[in-house]
Amino acid sequence: MLEAAGVRLDLTGTEPFLPAAQLDALAPRVAEAARGLATGTCAGNEFLGWLDLPSRIDEAALAACEAAAARARADAEACVVVGIGGSYLGARAVLDALPPVPGDGVPLLFAGTGLCAAGLDRVLATIADRDFRVCVISKSGTTVEPAVAFRVLRQELRRRYGDKGAAARITAVTDAQRGALRQLATTEGWETFVVPDDIGGRFSVLTPVGLVPLAIAGVDVRGLVAGARAMQEACAGEGLRDNPAHLYAAVRYQLYTQGFTTEVMSSFHSGLHNLQEWWKQLFGESEGKQGQGIFPASTVFTTDLHSLGQYLQDGRRCLQETFLCARHTVPGLVVPSDPGADADGLGYLAGRSFDEINWIAFEATRQAHIQGGVPCQALSVDAVTPRTVGALLYMFEKAVGIGGLLLGLNPFDQPGVEAYKLEMFKRLGRPA
Q: Which one of the listed residues 59, 306, 418, 426 is annotated catalytic?
A: 306
Question: By the 8 A CB rule, do 169 and 80 touch?
Answer: no
Query: Is 285 marked active-site?
Result: yes
CA distances from 357 to 99, 299, 363 (A): 20, 18, 10
CA angle 25, 244, 52 (to 5 degrees): 115
Q: Which one of the listed residues 145, 191, 285, 397 is annotated catalytic?
A: 285
Integer Cα distance of 64 and 71 in angstroms: 11
Q: Is the peptide bond before 143 cis (omega within 30 degrees of 0)?
A: no
Query: Is 421 marked active-site?
Result: yes
Query: Is 426 marked active-site?
Result: no
Instruction: Of 222, 216, 224, 156, give the one whose Cα is nearest residue 191.
Output: 216
Question: By the 8 A CB rule, do 135 and 107 touch?
Answer: no
Q: Which one of the listed residues 15, 328, 363, 421 is annotated catalytic?
A: 421
Secondary structure in 3-state letters for the chain = CEEECCEEEECHHHCCCCCHHHHHCCHHHHHHHHHHHHHCCCCCHHHCCCCCHHHHCCHHHHHHHHHHHHHHHHHCCEEEEECCHHHCHHHHHHHHHCCCCCCCCCCEEEECCCCCHHHHHHHHHHCCCCCEEEEEECCCCCCHHHHHHHHHHHHHHHHHHHHHHHHCCEEEEECCCCCHHHHHHHHHCCEEEECCCCCCHHHCCCCHHHHHHHHHCCCCHHHHHHHHHHHHHHCCCCCCCCCHHHHHHHHHHHHHHCCCCEEEEEECCHHHHHHHHHHHHHHHHHHCCCCCCCEEEEEECCHHHHCCHHHHHHCCCCEEEEEEEEEECCCCCECCCCCCCCCCCCHHHCCCEHHHHHHHHHHHHHHHHHHCCCCEEEEEEEECCHHHHHHHHHHHHHHHHHHHHHCCCCCCCCHHHHHHHHHHHHHHCCCC
CA distances from 117 to 86, 87, 114, 429 (A): 21, 20, 9, 20
| Amino acid letter for position 107 | P
**Which residues belong to the active site?**
285, 306, 421
